Structures are given as C-alpha cells and as structure tokens.
Structure 1
Amino acid sequence: MSQSPVHEKQPQEKSGAAGLLRGSTVVGGATMLSRVAGLARDMVLARFAGAGDAADAFFVAFKIPNFFRRLFAEGAFSQAFVPVLAEYRQKGGVAAARALNDRVAGALGGTLLLVTLIGVLCAPLVAGLFAFGWWWGGEAQKFALATELLRITFPYLMLISLAGFSGAILNSFDRFAIPALTPVLLNLVLIAAALLGGRWFEPPIAALAWGVLAAGVAQLLFQLPFLARHGLLPRPRWDWHYPGVRKILRLMGPAIFGVSVTQISLVLDTVLASFLPSGSVSWLYFSDRLTELPLGVFGVAVATVILPNLSRQHADGDPRRFRHTLDWALRSVTLISLPAAVALMVLAEPLLTTLFQYGRMEPRDMAMSAWSLRAYSIGLLSFMLIKVLAPGYFARQDTYTPVRFGLIAISAKMLLSLVFVIPLNHYLRLGHMGLALATACQAAINAWLLYRGLRRDDVYLPEAGWGAYLLRLALACAAMVAVLVLGLHYWPEWDQWLWWQRCWRMGVLVAAGGGAFGLALLALGLRPRHFRATS
C-alpha cells in the first residue's frame, strides 16, 4: 500500500499550556466517555457475576493479559517508542518516522505472537503464578476455571498491544481523540457479552472471556482506517538491526519496571488476595475501578499529551519550555486528584452501593469494597503524580533512573503488604484493605523519588505560587467535605432505595460537592485562565 503524501509536512505544533490544555481536554473527554461506559460495564458484571468464585476466576483471567497490556501498550513500550519516534520525526521528517513505524510493527507483532502462543500453551503455569493461593490452598475448581478462561483471554494481549501501538503513532502526530475513544469498545462488547451471551455458554462466565477476545479485535480494527487516512498505516518489516528498533528495545527493558511499577504492585495484590477469603479479588477490583476513573480521565489524559510535547522540547534543546510543561501538568493533576481523593473517601460506601449493589452483590460486599476504596484513595494523588513525573524521564530517554526508583518502591510495597495482610497481631490484621493501603504507600514513595530526582538534576523547578495554590485547594476541599457530610446526614440509608432513587441522590451529592469546590476556588481567586497561560 502506498502512503499518502498529504502529510509529508509536519503538522503545526500546538505551543504552550493552551495547546496542552486543548489536547488534554480532547483526551479527557474521550476517556470520560470510556470510563462512564466502564462503570456501566462493571454494574452489569456485578449483576451478572457477583463477587463469588466464578467472578474471582474471571477477574484473574482478565487481569493477566491486561497486566501485560499495560507493559506493551501503555507502559514500557509507549514510553520508549514515543520519544524515539519524536526524535526521528524532528530530525528526519515524516518519512523517517514512517520507516521507524514499519520496523517497529514487524518486531512488535512477531514478539507478541510468540508471547501469546506461550501464554495459551502454558496457561496453568501462568495462572499459578498470579493465583498461587488457589493452587496451594487446594481450590482446584476455581483454579481450573481461571486456567480455562485464561486460554480464551490471553490473545487479547496481542490484539490490544497492537491497538496501543497504533494509538501511540496517532498521539505522536497530535491525533489524540481516536486512541482515547478506542477503549469504549471493550466496555460495549463486554456489556453485550454479559447481557446476551450468558445463556449460550457453560459456564456462563465464559461469555465474558470470549467478550474480552472480541473486544481486542474490535479495538485494533477501529484504529486502522484512521492510520490509513493520515498516511500513517505501518507496513510491517522484520528488521531487528534497525537503529531505532534497537534503541527502543534498550529503553524498554528498564522502562518495564519504571513506568509499570503500579501495575506490578496490583498483580502482587492479586497473588496475596488469593490467600484471603473468597470475594477479596472482586472487592479489590471494584474499588480499584472507581479509583481508575479520575486517574484514567485526567492523569492519563495529561500524561498522554505531555509526553510527545516533552519529547519534542528535549529534542529541540528547550529546557525552559520543558520545565513549564511539567509544572503545568503537576498543577493540573493536583487540581483534580485532591478533591477526587477526598470525595471518594467520604462517599465510598454510598457510591459503591449506587453502582454495584444489585443482583448477586450483597451489602457486605459493598462494605468490604468501601474499605479498600478508601485506602486506594489515599494514594490517588501519588498515582497521578507518577503519570506526569515519569514522562519527565522518558522524554529525555532516561529509563534507568525510574527503574531504580521503581524497584525501591515495589520492595517497600511487598514488605508493607506482608505486614498489613499477615496477622502478626490483632491491630494490623487489615486483610484486603491492607493490600490497597500498601499500594497507596508504594505510589507515594515512587512519586517522591521521581520528583526528587527531577529536582536534583535541575530538570524541573517549581514555578512561583505553589504554596498559595495548595492552600486554595485545601480550603476548597474542606468546603466540599462539609457539603457531602451534610448530605449523607440527611440520606443515610442507601441500600434501602431503588436504583433510580440512589442515582438521583448521588447525582445531587456529586453536583453539590463539585459546585462547592468550584465556587470556593473562585472565591479564593483561582480562575480558568491560570491554566491556559502560555509559556
């Protein structure tokens, strides 16, 4: 296929925080649509599967390829690929970028095919690594079901990683909307599988596994026409000796630990949760999903937009713009993460009840999920900071420093998980909540190390006004909490209402709390223009 000559000239770059805000808004809006569809999906899954053995088995079978997806599609690969692609594009133009894309497509596709074959053939071994407690504890039926489902879901890794590669190309050319909309398809397909497919499969939970596989096909095919329209569709070439491919491979190795340390810690949660009472994996899943909503909509959106910008600024040798971009990103995610974390802690059980307590879900499931949600919320700011601090290293093609920081943080997480989960004494017997709390602590350690490293190397210097900015946010959060607590005082019995009664009350609380936060910020002098000022 010949490439269209329309895009031989590089698109005009958006400059300053105004362009970053526009790009983040596009990605955030598309991701919000995806996350809303994801919440609808989880509501359907809660009604369809509940929080028992079958649900635990599916979530493990889904989490395993999803974990590797984060490494290939959103983690180590994209963080290594995007800066190298930006360098090729800046120095050699679009033709050089296309040549790199062709070689990377061949190398990535071949590697993913091999990994997928190994995963399917060795499904019992892979499932045993991630759910060791089921094998060790004699839960043979649950382990066998997880293995069976994993054989169906594992090819999702190859499909979604190639979709992630396609999205990284589009993002590098400032086409953000299509990659951000693509995850909606996963949610829609899984909803259809739960609603329509359960009656045709035995066990019924297998319908969800086949839905995951079908969603991977849909997400890859969805992006290909847009790559072709912009003349960016790769023609795979097997060339491991190509300099760009070898450079990406060098950067990928350490980046696997540096950017995906949070995902590794979540897998450790799954392993330890397999030793805990039945339902623990599902409780952690539902609480993690709510934490992922603000993280995915805002943290990932800002990180997605700043990485190609930081990469170009580094390639251009412009440290002042590089620092300004990082400062803008840190202010933006702090504006969202602080009130989101506080709101999730205050509204944990009512929110979970509104979304998930239907069908097979019981009030006890909501209470247990609420504890882990509160623990995850403590680390929400740190999760978002990692998303925007890590690109400060990867844009400069420094993948080794985040590895060192990631290993320190993950080691602390492993130690804290054992301390919080193993009943060494009565007071530290936290169960699944201990796993979530250890994850929050790990994120805080990792974020602090990344921040300190950027300051130490003089890569980032905070701009003026941070003290006053944080004080305004704290006061606005206090106003929001007062409104939410007052609302919960008058509406205490959430599990007694019908779904529509829960929904309108939750809508009122969210609107009132958000309104109080926004009005407080306006009263304290913060204006939207403060986030649009160009560098």
Structure 2
Amino acid sequence: MSRPRLLRSTAVFSAMTFLSRIAGFARDVVQAALFGAGSATDAFTIAYRIPNYLRRIFAEGSFAMAFVPTFSAIKESGDRAALKDFLDHIAGALFAVVWLVSGLGMLAAPLIVGAIAPGTLNEPGKFELASDMLRIVFPYLGFISMVALAGGVLNSFGRFGLPAVTPVLHNLMLIAAMLFFTGYFDVPIMALAWGVLAAGFAQLLLLWPALGRLGLAPRPRINFRHEGVRRVFKLMLPTLFSSSVAQFNLIVGTLFASLLVTGSQTWLWYSDRLVEFPLGLFGVALGTVILPHLSSRFAATDGAGFSSALDWGLRQVLLLALPAALGLVLLAEPVVTTVFERGAFTALDSTMTAYAVIAMSLGIPFFMLTKVLAPAFFARQDTKTPMKAAIATVVANVVLTIAITTPLWLTGTPGAHAGIALATAIAGAVNAALLWRYLKRDGLYQPSPGWGRHLLRLMAGCVAMAVVVLALRAWIGEFSALGEWMRWGVLLGVVGAGAAAYGAGLLLTGWRPRELRFAG
C-alpha cells in the first residue's frame, strides 16, 4: 500500500470514525441529560469499563495485533486454501475463549466489581447495581470480539469503511435504549446495559456478511493445536498489557476513583469520552491503517518501506494531535458545558469534568503516537518489546496516581479525580517514549530529513491557534451564561477560528498539503 493509498485509507477510516464519534457524542448528551453524574451512572461506568477493557485484549487490541500480521503473512503467500483454513480455526478458537470468559465473568461479577472498585463495597446499592449490570454487559465481549475478527480480515484487504462505521450502530442502539426503554425498568439506567448487549449483536449481524462477499466467511472449527492458532495466541500473550495499556490505566483509575466522592467515576468517564474523540478519529485510524501496510513491508523484507511508512505516520500524528490537545486544554469547560450540561448534568458536573479533560488532554499526543509506534513491533510479530514498555507504563501510572491523587483526597481538595487523569496522561508519555527508544535502539526506524523544520511549523501553528482561541474566549466571556443553541454556535465558531489559525500558521511557515502524501 503506497503512502497516497495510506492517506486515502486513513481519510476513509477517519470519515467513518467521525460519524461514529458524532453518534457517540449524541449518546453521551442523552446519557448525561437523563442520568447526570450520580451513583447509578457511576455503577454503569464501572460495569461498562470491564468488558471494554477485555475488548482491547480479545478484539481490536491484543488479538488484532497478533491476528493481522499472521493473516497478512499467509495472504502474501497466495495460498487461498491455507488462508481460509487459518480463518476457520482462529474463528473457532476465539469464539470458544471469549464465551468462556464471558460466562465466568457473569458468574464472578460481584467479585470483579469489588476488586476494581473497592469503594463501592461501602455503598451496597451501587455495588449491587454495578454487579447486576456487569452480568448483562459481559456477553457483549463475545459479540464484539467476532466483529473485530471480521474487521481485521476486511482491513487486511484494504476495506476500512464498513469496520469503521459499525460503531455508529452501537451508539444509535444505546440512544434508542435510553429514549424508548428506560420506562420498562425499575432502575432506568438498566436499559443502557441491555442496549450495550443488543448493540454488540447488531454490529455482528452488520459486519459478518461482508466476509462472505470476500469468499472468506468462516466456518468455526475448534482446534487449539492448529499451527496458526498457536502462533496467534503465542503472539497475544505478551500483548495483553502492551496493546491495552491505556485501558488498563483507566481500570487503575476506576479503582482509585471508587474511593473518591460520588460522581468521580462519571466525571472521568466523560472526560475520557472527549479525549477519545481525536484519539479515535486520527490515532486509531492511523494505527489501524498502517498495521497491515507495515506487516506486508516486513513480510516483503522491505526495511526502507517499513521505516518510511512509519515516519509518515508519526508526522501525521503530531500534525493532528498537537492542535487537538491544545484545543481541549483551552476549551475544556466550554466544550463540557455545551455538550453535557442540561437535565440532570449540573454546572458542578461540568466544572469537575473539565478539570479531568484538561489533565488527560495533555496525554493526547503520546496516546496517538503509541497508536503508530506499537504496530511497528506487532507488524514484525515482536510482542515482547511492547510488553516491557507496557509493564513500565502501568507501574508508572500506579505510582503517579498514588503520588498525585492521595494528597488531594486526604485534604478534601475538590477535583481530586483530575489527579487520576493527569497520572494517566504522564503514563502515556512514558509508554510512547519507551517505544520510540526501542525502535531507535533496534535500528527499525530511521527518521527522514526535515523533522526539525516540521516541528517548528507545528509550534508556529499552535501558537497562532492559542492566541486566537484565548482572545475569543476573553471576548465572549462566560459560556454558561449563553443559551444552549448560542453555546453551540459560538463554540463551533471558536473551534473553526482556532483551526483556521493553526492552518494559517502552518502555511505561513512553509508547510504544504502535499506533505500529507509524501514524507520529508
């Protein structure tokens, strides 16, 4: 896949992901308005995080990082029968494992909630509600893992659109569950848990037939001794941490947040949702598109092409991540107020969420860099090196969370949950730095000329953006004083002006759009 093709594929993936993120924001708006940031919403957040963390292992995280290079290598050999045989066996093995894990998770739901959110043990109502919802949402893991298998196959054939758009269906079904089914439950938020389960099944129904159109619809066969299955699971083991370190850090945050005031879980959840917007739109898109390309370059022993594609990905990440992070830091409270503050979501909730958004946004460039750096190892079927970085990152996150959050908690400082977000951001920087160091050490990546000039242009764009955004904020005044529709109009205007200023800063310092296609 050439760099222009990489650009087109990334653009397609980003466009589809943009639709998903817009639907996700609509879902969050409805959820915030209906349920606010109380005990019930905290309970759902706890329950929903667990299958989402496991999803990073058995779906688009650890499994995808092991499956796609293996699948690509067999595909490059041209043996269609071997490809289909491998797909049948890996589908059977994945199906058996994820449904076993789901069953065990449903049985052990109270133990799991008590382990990752020990603070709920002192709140019986929240603990029982979180346990009940976890039993409902756990089978979502089985559906979404098979969706990820289908998505990995389609991505390997350069078909990124449908896998990227399926999350739209997920969000739309959750919106429907909240709007039309809450009245059927004694505890209205239970409708949201059932919506998650239904959404996983609907995504599978949408995506699975696409494999048939490729002539690769799997007929699952269970044989854990199959060579391809053994290779994938062997590659997966070291990636259990490395491919899901950000989610694992959020689990650590969930544990600490359970000890803080009611609402902390929800404030962190909404801040994570805002940070996930640029991360999913650009970082995940680049990482997803570049992995099959890097895998094919490695299989073809094209070291120069491997390094060149990686260099292209890193430049595009910083081009998009720096203004995204800066924009969220400068506009955290206006964004939260505009998107979430209505109904049961109060001005206090907006302020507390904004604190976490500012702290976590500092990690956006590093989270996005990791999305491109990690596939460089997985494409070579090297899963041990990212694991080393992941272990160090998790340790750093735990230490930083304790060091930053504990004093805030003990002194009763408002916004102690933002310390958890800041620790997550710094840990993200540690992860990216270690992966970069290992790539350089192993001689896998040689930066193309022009990096110094590229960084200076990005800095100029960010300075121009900051000046414009801060000037407009000072002129507009307090966002909460504006009417709801006025908030949206003003916010979009400020975001557009900031983006224009960033682009102007780039152009005035010599950056040209053709650099999106060709590195250097």
The TM-score normalised by the length of structure 1 is 0.95
SS of the aligned residue for 1:495 comes to helix
The verdict on how the C-alpha distance between 1:50 and 1:427 changes in structure 2, with shifts beyond 3 A counting, is closer
1:398 has 2:376 as partner: no
Instruction: Supply the distance in 2 between the matched residues of 1:295 and 1:256 (Cα, whole angstroms).
Output: 20
1:44 has 2:30 as partner: yes
Q: Which amino acid aligns with 2:228?
A: G
1:227 has 2:211 as partner: yes
Q: Which amino acid aligns with 2:193?
A: A
Q: Which amino acid aligns with 1:350?
A: P
1:411 has 2:404 as partner: no
Shift, 1:113, TM fit: 1.2
Q: What is the 5 A alignment of 1:243-282?
A: 243-282=227-266
1:378 has 2:356 as partner: no
SS of the aligned residue for 2:181 comes to helix
Aligned to 2:291: 307
- What do the CA deviations read for 1:76-128 (whole angstroms, capped 9, x no partner)? 10000000111111124333221111000000001111111111111111111
Aligned to 2:350: 366
Instruction: Supply the distance in 1 between the matched residues of 2:82 and 2:413 (Cα, whole angstroms).
Output: 57
Aligned to 1:140: 124
Q: What is the 5 A alignment of 1:168-207?
A: 168-207=152-191
Task: Say which is worse superposed, 338-347 or 254-263, in terms of deviation.
Answer: 254-263
Q: CA contact under 8 A between 1:419 and 1:428: conserved in structure 2? A: no
Instruction: Supply the distance in 2 between the matched residues of 1:172 and 1:458 (Cα, whole angstroms).
Output: 26
Task: Say which is worse superposed, 508-517 or 489-498, in terms of deviation.
Answer: 489-498
Shift, 1:533, TM fit: 2.3
The verdict on how the C-alpha distance between 1:471 and 1:323 changes in structure 2, with shifts beyond 3 A counting, is same
Aligned to 1:93: 79
Give unpaired runs (5+ residues) of structure 1: 1-13
Q: CA contact under 8 A between 1:420 and 1:429: conserved in structure 2? A: no
Aligned to 1:34: 20
Aligned to 1:487: 472
The verdict on how the C-alpha distance between 1:141 and 1:426 changes in structure 2, with shifts beyond 3 A counting, is closer
- What do the CA deviations read for 1:196-239 (whole angstroms, capped 9, x no partner)? 11111111011101100110110111001211112121110111
Q: What is the 5 A alignment of 1:9-24?
A: 14-15=1-2, 17-24=3-10
Shift, 1:534, TM fit: 7.5
SS of the aligned residue for 2:79 comes to helix
Q: Which amino acid aligns with 1:258?
A: S
Q: CA contact under 8 A between 1:423 and 1:429: conserved in structure 2? A: no
Aligned to 2:64: 78
Aligned to 2:485: 500
Shift, 1:72, TM fit: 1.0
Aligned to 1:523: 508
Instruction: Supply the distance in 2 between the matched residues of 1:40 and 1:492 (Cα, whole angstroms).
Output: 26
Match of 2:48 among 62, 79, 101: 62
Q: CA contact under 8 A between 2:393 and 2:431: conserved in structure 1? A: yes
The structure 1 segments of at least 4 consecutive aligned residues displaced by more than 3 Å after TM superposition are: 424-430
Instruction: Supply the distance in 1 between the matched residues of 2:413 and 2:298 (Cα, whole angstroms).
Output: 47
Q: Which amino acid aligns with 2:477?
A: P
SS of the aligned residue for 2:238 comes to helix
Shift, 1:62, TM fit: 1.1
SS of the aligned residue for 1:504 comes to helix
Instruction: Supply the distance in 2 between the matched residues of 1:383 and 1:189 (Cα, whole angstroms).
Output: 28
Q: Which amino acid aligns with 1:301?
A: A
Shift, 1:496, TM fit: 2.1
Aligned to 1:4: none
Instruction: Supply the distance in 2 between the matched residues of 1:123 and 1:81 (Cα, whole angstroms).
Output: 29
Q: CA contact under 8 A between 2:271 and 2:353: conserved in structure 1? A: yes
Name the % identity: 48
Match of 2:444 among 455, 459, 462: 459
Task: Say which is worse superposed, 383-392 or 192-201, in terms of deviation.
Answer: 192-201
Instruction: Supply the distance in 1 between the matched residues of 2:477 and 2:26 (Cα, whole angstroms).
Output: 24
Q: Which amino acid aligns with 2:21?
A: R
SS of the aligned residue for 2:443 comes to coil
Q: What is the 5 A alignment of 1:285-300?
A: 285-300=269-284
Match of 1:435 among 420, 434, 441: 420
Instruction: Supply the distance in 2 between the matched residues of 1:430 and 1:201 (Cα, whole angstroms).
Output: 33
Q: CA contact under 8 A between 1:421 and 1:428: conserved in structure 2? A: no
Match of 1:114 among 100, 103, 111: 100
Instruction: Supply the distance in 2 between the matched residues of 1:145 and 1:77 (Cα, whole angstroms).
Output: 31
* Structure 1 vs Structure 2 CA RMSD: 1.4
Q: CA contact under 8 A between 1:198 and 1:207: conserved in structure 2? A: yes
The verdict on how the C-alpha distance between 1:534 and 1:139 changes in structure 2, with shifts beyond 3 A counting, is closer
- What do the CA deviations read for 1:380-416 (whole angstroms, capped 9, x no partner)? 0000011000001000000001111110111011011
Match of 1:356 among 340, 356, 378: 340
Instruction: Supply the distance in 2 between the matched residues of 1:429 and 1:464 (Cα, whole angstroms).
Output: 47
The verdict on how the C-alpha distance between 1:534 and 1:231 changes in structure 2, with shifts beyond 3 A counting, is farther
Shift, 1:490, TM fit: 1.6
SS of the aligned residue for 2:136 comes to helix
Task: Say which is worse superposed, 344-353 or 416-425, in terms of deviation.
Answer: 416-425
The TM-score normalised by the length of structure 2 is 0.98
Q: CA contact under 8 A between 2:102 and 2:142: conserved in structure 1? A: yes
Q: Which amino acid aligns with 2:9?
A: G
SS of the aligned residue for 1:422 comes to helix
Q: CA contact under 8 A between 2:173 and 2:198: conserved in structure 1? A: yes
Q: CA contact under 8 A between 2:312 and 2:519: conserved in structure 1? A: no
